[in-house]
């Protein structure tokens, strides 16, 4: 769980309000409509160990439970 965690956005749920990108700006930018966009271009960006805390916070902050942390 602590190694190789990835940020996955469920697009059927996400409504592009952008709370996740505010909390995880290192990994997520927002596109011009407010939807989160992986900065690295990877589909499900890998979370570096030092950002795991923030990734969990972003997951909890997503009002639609669209952001998931997957192995």
Minimum gap (Å) between residue 44 Cβ and another protein: 19
Give CA–CA dist 64/16, Å, rounded: 10
Q: Return residues touching ligand SF4 (CB under 6 A).
A: 9, 14-20, 36, 62, 64, 66-67
Beta-carbon contacts of 71 under 8 Å, excluding residues fewer than 6 positions away, are: 1, 4, 5, 6
Per-residue binder mask for another protein (CB under 8 A), 12-51, x = binder: -x-xxxxx--xx---------xxx----------------
Classify residue 57 by its DSSP letter: H
When asked if residue 53 is in the footprint of another protein (CB under 8 A), the reply is no
**Other residues' Cβ atoms within 10 Å of the Cβ of residue 34:** 12
When asked if residue 69 is in the footprint of another protein (CB under 8 A), the reply is no
């Amino acid at each position: 769980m602590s190694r190789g965690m990835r940020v996955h956005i469920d697009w059927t749920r996400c409504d592009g309000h952008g709370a996740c990108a505010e909390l995880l700006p290192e990994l997520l930018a927002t596109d011009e409509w407010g939807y989160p966009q992986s900065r690295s271009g990877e589909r499900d960006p890998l979370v570096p160990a030092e950002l795991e805390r923030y990734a969990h916070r972003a997951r909890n902050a997503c009002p639609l439970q669209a952001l998931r942390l997957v192995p």
